[in-house]
Amino acid sequence: MRKKTGSLIVLCILFFGISCIASSVEAAAGKTPHQVPRLTGKVKIDGVLDEAIWQEALMLTMDFEVEPGENIKPPVKTEFLLFYGEKHLYAAFRAYDPKPGDIRAHVTDRDNITGDDYVSIVLDTFNSSRRAFVFQCNPYGVQADFISTMMMAQDEWDGIWKSAAKITDWGYAVEFKIPFTSLRFQKTKDNQVWGIDAVRSYPRNLSHLLGLFPRDRSNNCYMCQANKVIGFKGARPGINVEIAPTLSALLTQERETFPDGDFREANKKADPGITARWSFTPNLTLNATVNPDFSQVEADAAQLDINTQFALFYPEKRPFFLEGISFFRSRFYAVYTRSLRAPHWGVKVTGKEGKHAIGFFSVQDSMTNLWFPGSESYQATSLDMNNIGTVLRYRRDIGRASNVGFLITDREGEDYFNRVVGIDGDFRFTKKDRIFWQYLGSQTRYPGQVVSDFNQPDGRFGGGAFDGLYQHNTQHVYLFAHYQDVTPNFRADLGFVNQAGHKLYEAGGGYTWRQNPGHWYTQLRLIGGYWYMTKSDGSMLQNLFYSWLIYTGPLQSNIMAHAEYGEVSYLGREFDRKAVDFTAQIRPSGSLSLWVNGVIGDQIDYTNIQPGDRVTINPGIQYNMGKRLSLSIDYLYERLNVEGGELYTANLTNLRFVYQFSRRAFLRTLLQYADYRYNTALYSMPLDPEFKHLFSQVLFSYKINPQTVLFLGYSDDYYGYSMIPVTQSNRTFFLKIGYALVL
């Protein structure tokens, strides 16, 4: 083990050296910056561009359709206007449309304008080509914002800014007023050069994207190609202090005995809390919170949890952890903030100074969730024990679009710790070629009871994990090679690494055909590959050939079909694997979206260790009834047949109903229903033949901005079994009030 770990470390150092040597492979593409004027005068943000000051603004036209068209003339005209004042950046769009009645727009909650017409401003304020602020607005003035990172990944982020829009007889207009306090930018008294793009979504038969500059699909760096603007002399972010006191109240009642007991009070509390944010430099932000409300207002979508081999993944939705989350990302999911269950307090620093990106947080959690990964399955437990979880992430830019970094995570509790240290890199050889790699080493000690209950190593033990990926991307050709090695004793308790003790070898490639609008397809992509996974001792786990066919075409239709063929091993037995899964989606109008997912083929029965045949079908529909009312239904059916007959059937339904009173207020109802039926005669262990669960939630939300909010809600759970009808088990009433004071 020591020899293998040493080899991996040498390999990492080699990659690090190559990255540093090649830091000057590509020089910045020279583009003459557009001058952004500094103007004085009042602008009323109302979606009507009638102030004279707009005549003096920088005006750029969006002359390229970049999706699905290949940098062709756009189907509609769009003008983008920009200037700045003492404390704000001002922008506006004139989005012309020959048929304004066809504009697709709805009154929705913030950050929920997918499928609508919208316009976007993309600001690379450091001119680094790595991260950019994105501000979006639909024709009703509904806002969305995030941070775009390399490869166009999105980092959840909420800024405080103003916008307004108005539909006219020639199209629609949008105005933006963005405080410099909501941005991070270069620290200088002189003029600054920013990368910039303006994007318009024009969804009709096809979903057209328009931009300021042509896109080179053989260049894997989006913002490296961006236009440049110069100006912002004297712009200051101010002291940029935001204080948000909150009050959270909760009342939960449960039955004393299920199903016939009376309801009793299980939890009742009213907690004041406070969260503060301070940009102590123009580019580094400190967040601190005491007694916060870390609950999720948005309930997780129900997932099928029958016959699963590894843990289910749930995305983070809590604002404290979402802000700056991209700073903590790496090849392995070594930081998974959902593992932090009920924190008492937290502190976080994120930001970027020059070439140096930093992410740090430390949180005291009242519960300690543990995963025990194996090569073929996992175990988990939760300890009623406080712990302090700390993460330090550092990344340094190299050249135009490469970087290296390191990561440290530490979680400490009573007679317990888990520490992870690693180094990683994202190296861009050329415009077409990239290597991603990461090595992590861990040290862990579990409490004695955990050691005995879950057969874990006694005392301090260590492990390692390496992942490397090479990609070659051009306009048409895609090639890749992937290697991963995770030793059996590797643990990342603040992350989501639920498989260990394996090696993975993967390689493949693909070809993409593109057509401009008017053809029966706009994109066809064919990908093929080989996947071989073994245990650390060399015994086979998976030996598979696979292929993907991806289609994009009229009516905003998308189809993805995936097939795999080979064999897999589980607990010493080998099984054939022939399976096909698919996803299809179509949006025939601005009010209707339809989709269906499915799986047909071989599937192991992990409970009884036998081969099976699985059929899964998952249709869904979202329908907007007018501009304010939205209904979505997602239904999943799964059946597994084994030699003796039908082993189980599962039905899972998610229903979501939203009425939007205004941009600030909505009423939402969620219903989630699960119905599982088991053929107990085919199971090797005792099992109730039926299980039913109904979850409901009603929420009223009022938001002035992302931090000044009112949430008032109710939720409950119903359970049913073969001898017990579906019966209410608990009910919860909750309230949250938050107010953002910006200094």
Confidence of residue 733 (pLDDT cuts 50, 70, 90): very high
Phi, then psi, of 56 in degrees rounded to 5: -95, -5
Q: Above 80 in pLDDT, residue 419?
A: yes
The CA distance from 77 to 11, in Å, is 52
Per-residue pLDDT at 11 exceeds 70 = no
Q: Helix (H, G, I), strand (E, B), or coil: what is residue 450?
A: helix
Structural contact between residues 4 and 30, judged by C-beta atoms closer than 8 angstroms: no
Burial class (CB in 10 A: 0-12, 13-18, 19+), 443: middle
Q: What is the pLDDT of residues 471-494, one digit of tens each?
A: 999 999 999 999 999 999 999 999
> Is it the case that residue 579 has pLDDT exceeding 60?
yes
Give the pLDDT of residue 14: 47
* Region of poorest pLDDT, from 231-240, 370-379, 440-449, 630-639: 231-240
Type of residue found at 254: E
Burial of 4-24, coded b for 16+ CB within 10 Å and e otherwise, reads ebeebeeebeebbeebeebee
* pLDDT of 5: 44
Contact 40, 174 (CB under 8 A): no
Task: Look at residue 184 in the predicted model and tell me its pLDDT.
Answer: 82
CB 176 within 8 A of CB 91: yes
φ/ψ (deg, to 5) at 25: -60, -40
Q: How far apart are CA 216 and CA 225, in angstroms?
A: 8
DSSP 8-state symbol, 590? T
Sign of CA dihedral 157, 161, 167, 171: negative
* Helix, strand or coil, per DSSP, at residue 54: helix
- Mean of the pLDDT values across residues 66-90? 95
CA-closest candidate to residue 147, choices 174, 128, 173: 128
113, two tokens? 């304008």
Mean pLDDT highest for which of 23-37, 347-361, 623-637? 623-637
Tell me 182's DSSP state. Answer: G
Q: Are 630 and 623 in contact (CB under 8 A)?
A: yes
Average pLDDT over every residue of 282-310:
76
Decide the pairing of beta strands 690-703 and 709-721.
Answer: antiparallel
Please determine, for residue 105, whether its predicted confidence score (pLDDT) is greater than 90.
yes
C-alpha 165/C-alpha 529 separation (Å) is: 47
Alpha helices in 444-526, H assignment, sequence order:
448-454
| pLDDT computed for residue 7 by the predictor | 47
How much is the pLDDT for 314?
79
Give percent of the chain above pLDDT 70: 93
Q: What residues are paired with 712 via a beta bridge?
A: 700, 735
Across-strand partners of 578?
565
Q: Which residue in the block uniquely carries the two structure tokens 């992302």? A: 706
- Give the pLDDT of residue 631: 96
What mean pLDDT do residues 87-104 have?
96
Does pLDDT of 22 surpass 50?
Answer: no
Does position 308 have pLDDT exceeding 60, yes or no? yes
Please give the pLDDT value at position 150.
Answer: 62
By C-alpha distance, which of 465, 463, 510 is closest to 483? 465
* pLDDT confidence of residue 561: 98
What Rg do the C-alpha atoms of the chain give, in angstroms? Answer: 27
- Among the listed residues 420, 417, 360, the one whose alpha carbon sits nearest the alpha carbon of residue 392: 360
Is the pLDDT at 2 greater than 60? The verdict is no
Instruction: Give 528's strand partners.
Output: 509, 547
Q: Is the peptide bond before 259 cis (omega within 30 degrees of 0)?
A: yes
Average predicted confidence (pLDDT) for the chain: 90
pLDDT tens per residue, range 196-214: 999 999 999 999 999 999 9
Structure confidence at residue 26 as a pLDDT band (50, 70, 90): very low
Between these two residues, 24 and 740, which has the higher pLDDT value?
A: 740
Question: 258: pLDDT confidence band, cut at 50, 70 and 90?
Answer: very high
Mean pLDDT of 377-398: 94
d(CA 118, CA 343): 37
Res. 293 pLDDT band, cuts 50 70 90? low
- With 90 as the cut, is the pLDDT of residue 217 above it? no
- Residue owning tokens 């000044």: 708
Is the pLDDT score of 338 beyond 70? yes
**Residues with Cβ within 8 Å of residue 737, at least 6 apart in sequence:** 246, 247, 709, 710, 711
Q: Does the structure show a pLDDT above 60 at 23?
A: no
The per-residue pLDDT for range 445-462, each reduced to its tens digit, is 999 999 999 999 999 999
Residues 6+ apart with CB under 8 A from 296: 317, 318
Phi, psi of 516 (to 5 degrees): -75, 165
Phi then psi for 648, rounded to 5 degrees? Answer: -155, 160
Give the model's confidence band at 516: pLDDT under 50 very low, under 70 low, under 90 confident, else very high.
very high
DSSP string, 543-582: EEEEEEEEEEETTTEEEEEEEEEEEEEETTEEEEEEEEEE
pLDDT band (50, 70, 90) for residue 284: confident
**pLDDT, tens only, 239-255:** 678 888 989 898 999 99
Tokens 């948000």 sit at which residue?
A: 244
Residues constituting the chain: 743
Checking if the pLDDT of 392 tops 80, the result is: yes
The distance in angstroms from the start CA to the end CA of the chain is 55
Mean pLDDT along residues 287-314: 76
Residue 88 corresponds to which tokens in the numbers above? 């704000």
Query: What percent of the chain shows pLDDT beyond 90?
Result: 72
What is the per-residue pLDDT for 576? Answer: 96
Q: Between these two residues, 742 and 95, which has the higher pLDDT value?
A: 95
Domain ranges of the chain: 31-231, 308-500
pLDDT, position 10: 43
Confidence band (pLDDT; 50, 70, 90) for 191?
very high
Return the exposure string of 249-262: e unless at least 16 CB atoms fall within 10 Å of the residue's CB, then b.
Answer: bbbbbbbeeebeee
Asked if pLDDT for residue 21 goes beyond 60, the answer is no
Q: What is the pTM of this model?
A: 0.87
Give the model's confidence band at 130: pLDDT under 50 very low, under 70 low, under 90 confident, else very high: confident
Is the peptide bond between 447 and the residue preceding it cis, with omega within 30 degrees of 0? no
Band (pLDDT 50/70/90 cuts) for residue 729 is very high
Residue 643 tokens, joined? 């030699």
Distance of alpha carbon 424 from the chain centroid: 21
Lowest-pLDDT choice from 294-303, 343-352, 389-398: 294-303
Of the pLDDT bands very low, low, confident and very high (cuts 50, 70, 90), residue 129 is: confident
- CATH number for the region 31-231 comes to 2.60.40.1190
More confident position, 685 or 613: 613
- Which is it for strands 343-353 and 284-290: parallel, antiparallel or unpaired? antiparallel
Say which DSSP state 102 is in. G
DSSP-assigned letter for residue 302: P
Contact 316, 322 (CB under 8 A): yes
In the three-class reduction of DSSP (H, G, I as helix; E, B as strand; rest coil), residue 699 is classed as: strand
Q: Which residues pair with 527 in a beta bridge?
A: 510, 548
Q: Do the beta carbons of residue 424 and residue 402 sit within 8 Å?
A: no
Give the pLDDT band of residue 262 (cuts 50, 70, 90): very high
Contacts of 364 (CB under 8 A, 6+ apart): 343, 344, 345, 346, 386, 387, 388
Q: State the Cα–Cα distance between residues 340 and 330, nearest whole angstrom.
A: 19
| pLDDT value of residue 3 | 45
Residue 585 pLDDT exceeds 50: yes
- Model confidence at 359, pLDDT cuts 50, 70, 90, reads very high
Q: What is the pLDDT of residue 234?
A: 84
Q: Give, as one character, the DSSP assignment of residue 653.
A: E
